[in-house]
């Protein structure tokens, strides 16, 4: 059977669910019966619906890793109405309609638009194979859902992908794997699977989560233009529908079910330097030293697999890293946090306590014939923790205690698809068994969630060990809801211009799929980069939520200084700009934590009614107000940019543009095309070598002013810990209004009790003529005006500042 595990089992014949009858109902759900299948239709929150079909007399269960056992609180007021031939459940203006004969389900949003209607003929159903048994079909019957695809409907999301933003008319496979070098469209499934789509139709957004962590395929109008189908190898048929009607609503609704990104520690937003591997303590010291010596801001250095003793997790190579505690303390004193890699494979070694303990406690995955499942990874032959079990996750988490006590700040979880060496870059067979927990589960039933269950254990462990700190966990693999536990990096991209381009649609779809904290390796992982590619990659990379340069063993060095001038200066300037942008990034992280909104946003997220944004693959918004359009080809300085509705200013030259327009941007090396939205203040901090460096330097509100008005937000807190949850944060709204020759900027009173260190704030207004006078809170005030920039300083303590320039 071993050689068959990459191939799905024979599927059998599809049988749609037929007529159903009502069994019972409560305030927000109906239970129906169709043959031996029980179907539940529930309203979980306004605009959030859940459908579950449980075949063969199986019980209801929704506790997949996507929800992590959390269920939104049902709304108080669901109206259940009997209709001609079925029922309607209505809540908050959106509804689900259930027709009984045959059982077909459809939805209506608050604008009255019907969406996600079952295909009349195919509906939902199961693939039956007479005579199948647990060896021929270890996962039972495959399941399939068929929905009508409306004319003009466009599909986005689908988590981590290699192709363009728009997935309409394609087939997408969800099966976590460590793909061959050089991600391309020929293998659409990568390390992580988020079986979620966001669709747009007439500017209205809806979402669908097909919650099944076994191998799944979405066909988004490819096989049959009028059908979207969603299919999994086995298990139950559970899906959630999110009624929108804006993309923001869909992300809020989706993350109500799958969870939101916790606030990261501030240091994790700083610049990070990695390589496979900095192999000795002295090499790590040298990298840290170079960063400081060359004035290149850096918060984090990484330890890749070579810090371990023979790749045994939770050990140190004492020769290459003698006295590692001293090394970590020295780095800390110099403002560096250190993140270390931990893979799931545990070396089979009788003299290695982690293995021996895991084996004795029965904590490893078993084979179909109940032996320890073993395969080779970096350490040689390994066993694999059964992360589906809570006890195993707890044990795994606890194993990080010494690392944290030694001074490691964050944990990087790699190879957790899991990736295996035999055969090369394969993964665990579907018929392996997870039986350390409450129930026995075939690996194939939860394959796509293995990595996510690992990082759940790591995050919870770090929280137990250091309850006052915010855990920092990176994962390569994940499933829907990964954002609750870890941030995600995109794995092994290549040092190719194509991959600089690909990073944008990839990260935007990841963001639309709930994972806001994400990034690709700057400079590219595989292959050798060049000075120009590194510089252009960095021009893009510093705008990612996660900013880390990383590359493969044996490649050319690609630290920011590796190619000399002019590239080193470009990298320094870009990384310095990143540091200046941290107040804005942090504000976006807090918004995402509260609402699920992505940080790096496709234009369509803010402008869903403008169809021209749907193909804007190579530009993005940071929040609402910063538009970035990187250069992704060698030897050019110009590119096309689409500016959406509104007034925009070029960041470097202050040139003004009206939106809903295609323009040609000039972007010489060091000046990537960045545009700021008029009247939307951008909070900029000082350039620091790291985020721990104390500063009382003023904060600058950069405002490009044009007739009209706008608002922006600044959110701040201590940058780590949890005091913000009891009110120790500071949120300010900044309003800008330009009319009748005067620009008025109101920095509203601070909400929350956090008080920043600085004593001064600066308002820096562009796009206006030299004013004849400036007033602050009604009093005439000093100002500078130079090169078209008006600067006004005022005390940070001003509870409200109204700055008027006329
Ligand atoms: O088999 O730890 O994606 O970032 O440097 C390769 C070594 C294992 C893959 C990760 C990459 C990391 C590398 N790892």
Active site residue 779: no
Check whether 714 has a pLDDT greater than 80: yes
**Quick one: pLDDT at residue 140?**
87
Atom index in ligand 1 nearest the CA of residue 491 equals 3
Crossing angle for the helix pair 531-541 and 567-595, to the nearest 10 degrees: 30
Atom index in ligand 1 nearest the CA of residue 305 equals 2
- What is the average pLDDT score of the chain? 96
Strand partners, 99: 86, 104
Residues in the chain: 806
Probe residue for ligand 1, chosen from 415, 417, 519, 552 as the CB with the greatest number of ligand atoms within 8 Å:
415
DSSP class of 614: G
Tell me, in angstroms, the distance from the centre of ligand 1 to residue 343's CA: 10
Report the alpha-carbon distance of residue 228 to residue 263 in Å, rounded. 35
Tell me, in angstroms, the distance from the centre of ligand 1 to residue 622's CA: 29
Check whether 221 has a pLDDT greater than 90: yes
Tell me, in angstroms, the distance from the centre of ligand 1 to residue 307's CA: 13
**Quick one: pLDDT at residue 8?**
53
Report the alpha-carbon distance of residue 607 to residue 346 in Å, rounded. 48
What tens digit of pLDDT does each residue of 297-307 get? 999 999 999 99
pLDDT (average), residues 681-707: 96
DSSP class of 561: T
pLDDT (average), residues 716-744: 96
Domain with CATH 3.20.20.80 in the chain: 300-334+336-489
**Quick one: pLDDT at residue 76?**
78
Tell me, in angstroms, the distance from the centre of ligand 1 to residue 693's CA: 31
Which tokens go with 75?
Answer: 């709304």
Report the alpha-carbon distance of residue 658 to residue 164 in Å, rounded. 27
pLDDT (average), residues 613-629: 98
Q: Residue 225: how many CB atoms within 10 A of its CB?
A: 10
**Quick one: pLDDT at residue 10?**
64
Q: Which of 188, 414, 521, 559 is catalytic?
A: 414
Domain with CATH 2.60.40.1180 in the chain: 696-805
Tell me, in angstroms, the distance from the centre of ligand 1 to residue 414's CA: 7
**Quick one: pLDDT at residue 7?**
54
Report the alpha-carbon distance of residue 84 to residue 78 in Å, rounded. 19
Residue carrying structure tokens 């870890």: 486
Probe residue for ligand 1, chosen from 179, 180, 276, 427 as the CB with the greatest number of ligand atoms within 8 Å:
276
Report the alpha-carbon distance of residue 443 to residue 233 in Å, rounded. 12
Maximal CA-CA distance, the chain: 88
pLDDT (average), residues 269-278: 98
Nearest residue to 204 via CA among 168, 150, 164: 150
- Please provide residue 196's backbone torsions phi and psi, each rounded to the nearest 5 degrees: -135, 135
DSSP class of 159: S
What tens digit of pLDDT does each residue of 367-421 get? 999 999 999 999 999 999 999 999 999 999 999 999 999 999 999 999 999 999 9
Which tokens go with 697?
Answer: 């330097």
Confidence of residue 133 (pLDDT cuts 50, 70, 90): confident
CA distances to 10, 174, 197, 229, 567 from 168, rounded to whole Å, are: 27, 16, 10, 12, 39
Residues 6+ apart with CB under 8 A from 36: 55, 56, 57
Q: Which of 40, 219, 417, 606 is catalytic?
A: 417
Tell me, in angstroms, the distance from the centre of ligand 1 to residue 83's CA: 57
Burial class (CB in 10 A: 0-12, 13-18, 19+), 692: middle
Atom index in ligand 1 nearest the CA of residue 378 equals 1
Contact criterion met (CB below 8 Å) for 711 and 734:
yes
Q: Which of 153, 386, 492, 624 is catalytic?
A: 492
More confident residue, 727 or 131: 727
- Please provide residue 677's backbone torsions phi and psi, each rounded to the nearest 5 degrees: -75, 135
pLDDT (average), residues 303-325: 98
Tell me, in angstroms, the distance from the centre of ligand 1 to residue 576's CA: 28
What tens digit of pLDDT does each residue of 165-189 get? 999 999 999 999 999 999 988 889 9
- Ligand 1, atom 3: nearest CA belongs to which residue? 491
- Please provide residue 508's backbone torsions phi and psi, each rounded to the nearest 5 degrees: -70, -40
List alpha helices for 134-222, DSSP H. none
Report the alpha-carbon distance of residue 568 to residue 563 in Å, rounded. 7
Three-class DSSP category at 774: strand
Atom index in ligand 1 nearest the CA of residue 521 equals 4
Tell me, in angstroms, the distance from the centre of ligand 1 to residue 492's CA: 7
Tell me, in angstroms, the distance from the centre of ligand 1 to residue 73's CA: 41
Confidence of residue 138 (pLDDT cuts 50, 70, 90): confident
For domain 77-258, give the CATH superfamily: glycosyl hydrolase (family 31) (2.60.40.1760)
Atom index in ligand 1 nearest the CA of residue 419 equals 1
**Quick one: pLDDT at residue 52?**
98
Asked if the peptide bond before residue 418 counts as cis, ω within 30 degrees of 0, the response is yes
Strands of the 48-54 sheet, one edge to the other: 21-26, 29-34, 37-45, 48-54, 237-242, 204-210, 196-201, 154-157
Check whether 131 has a pLDDT greater than 90: no
Atom index in ligand 1 nearest the CA of residue 343 equals 2
What tens digit of pLDDT does each residue of 688-699 get? 999 999 999 999
Check whether 760 has a pLDDT greater than 70: yes
Tell me, in angstroms, the distance from the centre of ligand 1 to residue 8's CA: 27
pLDDT (average), residues 522-548: 98
Tell me, in angstroms, the distance from the centre of ligand 1 to residue 151's CA: 43
Report the alpha-carbon distance of residue 66 to residue 208 in Å, rounded. 13
Residues 6+ apart with CB under 8 A from 326: none
Give CATH for domain 300-334+336-489.
3.20.20.80
- Ligand 1, atom 12: nearest CA belongs to which residue? 276
- Ligand 1, atom 5: nearest CA belongs to which residue? 276
Asked if the peptide bond before residue 629 counts as cis, ω within 30 degrees of 0, the response is no
Contact criterion met (CB below 8 Å) for 158 and 167:
yes
Which tokens go with 158?
Answer: 């689908």
Strand partners, 42: 29, 50
Atom index in ligand 1 nearest the CA of residue 275 equals 5
- Please provide residue 198's backbone torsions phi and psi, each rounded to the nearest 5 degrees: -115, 125
Confidence of residue 153 (pLDDT cuts 50, 70, 90): very high
Give CATH for domain 696-805.
2.60.40.1180
Q: Residue 63: how many CB atoms within 10 A of its CB?
A: 10
Report the alpha-carbon distance of residue 645 to residue 633 in Å, rounded. 27
Q: What is the pTM of this model?
A: 0.97
- Ligand 1, atom 6: nearest CA belongs to which residue? 415
DSSP class of 143: E
Report the alpha-carbon distance of residue 280 to residue 568 in Å, rounded. 25
**Quick one: pLDDT at residue 192?**
98
Check whether 736 has a pLDDT greater than 50: yes
Asked if the peptide bond before residue 277 counts as cis, ω within 30 degrees of 0, the response is yes
**Quick one: pLDDT at residue 57?**
87
What tens digit of pLDDT does each residue of 327-353 get? 999 999 999 999 999 999 999 999 999
Atom index in ligand 1 nearest the CA of residue 553 equals 5
Atom index in ligand 1 nearest the CA of residue 552 equals 5
Nearest residue to 241 via CA among 70, 107, 111: 107
Three-class DSSP category at 523: coil
Asked if the peptide bond before residue 566 counts as cis, ω within 30 degrees of 0, the response is yes
DSSP class of 486: -
Tell me, in angstroms, the distance from the centre of ligand 1 to residue 772's CA: 60
Probe residue for ligand 1, chosen from 273, 304, 499 as the CB with the greatest number of ligand atoms within 8 Å:
304
Which tokens go with 430?
Answer: 């579907």
Report the alpha-carbon distance of residue 135 to residue 609 in Å, rounded. 50
List alpha helices for 279-377, DSSP H. 281-293, 324-333, 353-360
Helix or strand (DSSP H, E) at 656: strand 656-658
| Ligand 1 first shell, C-beta below 6 A | 276, 304-305, 341, 414-415, 476, 491-492, 550
Active site residue 492: yes
pLDDT (average), residues 28-39: 96
Probe residue for ligand 1, chosen from 492, 546, 550, 554 as the CB with the greatest number of ligand atoms within 8 Å:
492
Check whether 566 has a pLDDT greater than 90: yes
Atom index in ligand 1 nearest the CA of residue 525 equals 4
Domain with CATH 2.60.40.1760 in the chain: 77-258
What sign has the CA pseudo-torsion 313, 319, 323, 324? negative
Q: Which residues of 424-462 are buried (b: 16+ CB within 10 A; e: fewer)?
A: eebbbbbbbbbbbbeeebbbbbbbbbbbbbbbbbbbbbb
**Quick one: pLDDT at residue 2?**
41
Residue carrying structure tokens 């194979």: 129
- Ligand 1, atom 13: nearest CA belongs to which residue? 276
pLDDT (average), residues 640-653: 98
Which tokens go with 298?
Answer: 């850096």
pLDDT (average), residues 214-239: 97
Tell me, in angstroms, the distance from the centre of ligand 1 to residue 572's CA: 26
Residues 6+ apart with CB under 8 A from 16: 102, 121, 122, 123, 124, 125, 146
Report the alpha-carbon distance of residue 697 to residue 683 in Å, rounded. 13
Contact criterion met (CB below 8 Å) for 86 and 99:
yes
Confidence of residue 5 (pLDDT cuts 50, 70, 90): very low
Our separate counts of H helices and E strands in the chain read: 12, 52
Atom index in ligand 1 nearest the CA of residue 277 equals 5
pLDDT (average), residues 713-721: 98
Three-class DSSP category at 472: coil
Tell me, in angstroms, the distance from the centre of ligand 1 to residue 130's CA: 44
Confidence of residue 615 (pLDDT cuts 50, 70, 90): very high
């Amino acid at each position: 059977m071993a050689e068959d595990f990459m191939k799905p089992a024979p599927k059998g014949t599809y049988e749609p669910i037929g007529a159903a009858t009502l069994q019972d109902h409560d305030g927000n759900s109906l239970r129906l019966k169709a043959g031996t299948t029980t179907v539940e239709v529930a309203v979980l929150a306004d605009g959030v619906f859940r459908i579950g079909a449980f075949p063969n007399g199986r019980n209801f269960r929704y506790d997949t890793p996507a929800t992590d056992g959390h269920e939104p609180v049902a709304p108080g007021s669901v109206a259940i109405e009997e209709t001609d031939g079925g029922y309607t459940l209505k809540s908050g203006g959106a509804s689900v309609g259930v027709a009984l004969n045959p059982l077909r389900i459809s939805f209506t949003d608050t604008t009255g638009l019907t969406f996600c209607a079952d295909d009349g003929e195919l509906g939902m159903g199961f693939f039956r194979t007479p005579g199948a048994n647990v060896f021929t079909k270890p996962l039972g019957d495959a399941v399939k859902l068929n929905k009508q695809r409306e004319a003009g409907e466009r599909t986005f999301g689908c988590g981590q992908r290699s192709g363009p933003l728009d997935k309409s008319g394609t087939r997408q496979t969800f099966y976590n794997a460590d793909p061959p070098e050089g991600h391309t469209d020929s293998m659409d499934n990568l390390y992580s699977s988020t079986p979620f789509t966001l669709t747009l139709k007439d500017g209205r957004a809806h979402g669908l989560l097909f919650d099944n962590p076994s191998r799944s395929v979405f066909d988004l109008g490819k096989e049959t233009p009028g059908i979207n189908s969603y299919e999994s190898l086995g298990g139950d048929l559970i899906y959630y529908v999110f009624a929108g009607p804006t993309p923001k609503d869909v992300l809020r609704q989706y993350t109500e079910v799958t969870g939101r990104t916790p606030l990261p520690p501030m240091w994790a937003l700083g610049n990070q330097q990695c390589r496979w591997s900095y192999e000795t303590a002295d090499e790590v010291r040298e990298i840290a030293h170079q960063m400081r010596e060359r004035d290149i801001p850096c918060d984090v250095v990484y330890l890749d697999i070579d810090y371990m003793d023979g790749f045994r997790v939770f050990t140190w190579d004492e020769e290459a890293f003698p006295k590692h505690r001293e090394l970590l303390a020295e780095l800390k004193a110099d403002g560096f946090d250190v993140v270390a890699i931990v893979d799931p494979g545990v070396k089979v070694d009788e003299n290695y306590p982690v293995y021996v303990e895991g084996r004795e406690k029965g904590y490893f995955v078993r084979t179909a014939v109940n032996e320890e499942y073993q395969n080779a990874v970096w350490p040689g032959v390994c066993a694999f923790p059964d992360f589906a079990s809570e006890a195993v996750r707890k044990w795994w988490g606890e194993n990080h205690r010494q690392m944290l006590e030694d001074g490691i700040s964050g944990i990087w979880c790699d190879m957790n698809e899991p990736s295996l060496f035999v055969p090369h870059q394969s993964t665990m067979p579907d018929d392996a068994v997870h039986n350390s927990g409450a129930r026995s589960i075939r690996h194939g039933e939860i394959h796509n969630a293995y990595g996510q269950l690992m990082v759940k254990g790591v995050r919870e462990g770090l929280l137990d060990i250091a309850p006052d700190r915010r855990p920092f966990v990176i994962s390569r693999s994940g499933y829907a809801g990964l954002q609750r536990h870890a941030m995600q990096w995109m794995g092994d991209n290549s040092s190719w211009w194509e991959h600089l381009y690909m990073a944008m649609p990839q990260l935007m779809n990841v963001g639309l799929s709930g994972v806001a904290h994400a990034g690709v390796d700057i400079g590219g992982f595989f292959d050798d980069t060049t000075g120009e590619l590194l510089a252009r990659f960095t021009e893009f990379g510093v705008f990612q939520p996660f900013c880390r340069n990383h590359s493969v063993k044996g490649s050319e060095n690609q630290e920011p200084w590796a190619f000399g001038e002019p590239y080193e200066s470009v990298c320094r300037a870009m990384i310095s700009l990143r540091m200046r942008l941290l107040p804005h990034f942090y504000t976006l992280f807090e918004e995402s934590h509260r609402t699920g909104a992505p940080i790096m946003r496709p234009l369509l997220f803010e402008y869903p009614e403008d169809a021209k944004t749907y193909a804007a693959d190579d530009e993005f918004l940071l929040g609402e107000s910063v538009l970035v359009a990187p250069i992704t080809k060698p030897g050019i300085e110009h590119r096309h940019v689409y500016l959406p509705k509104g007034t925009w200013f070029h960041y470097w030259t202050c040139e003004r543009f009206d939106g809903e327009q295609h323009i040609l941007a000039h972007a010489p090396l060091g000046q990537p095309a960045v545009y700021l939205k008029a009247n939307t203040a951008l909070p900029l901090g000082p350039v620091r070598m790291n985020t721990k460096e104390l500063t009382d330097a003023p904060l600058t509100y950069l405002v490009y002013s044009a007739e009209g008005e706008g608002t922006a937000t600044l959110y701040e807190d201590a940058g780590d810990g949890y005091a913000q949850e009891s009110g120790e944060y500071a949120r300010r709204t900044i309003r800008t209004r330009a009319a009748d020759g005067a620009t008025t900027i109101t920095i509203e009173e601070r909400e929350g009790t956090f008080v920043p260190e600085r004593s001064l704030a600066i308002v820096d207004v562009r796009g206006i003529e030299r004013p004849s006078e400036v007033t602050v809170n009604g009093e005439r005030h000093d100002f500078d005006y130079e090169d078209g920039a008006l600067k006004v300083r005022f005390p940070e303590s001003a509870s409200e500042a109204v700055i008027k320039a006329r």
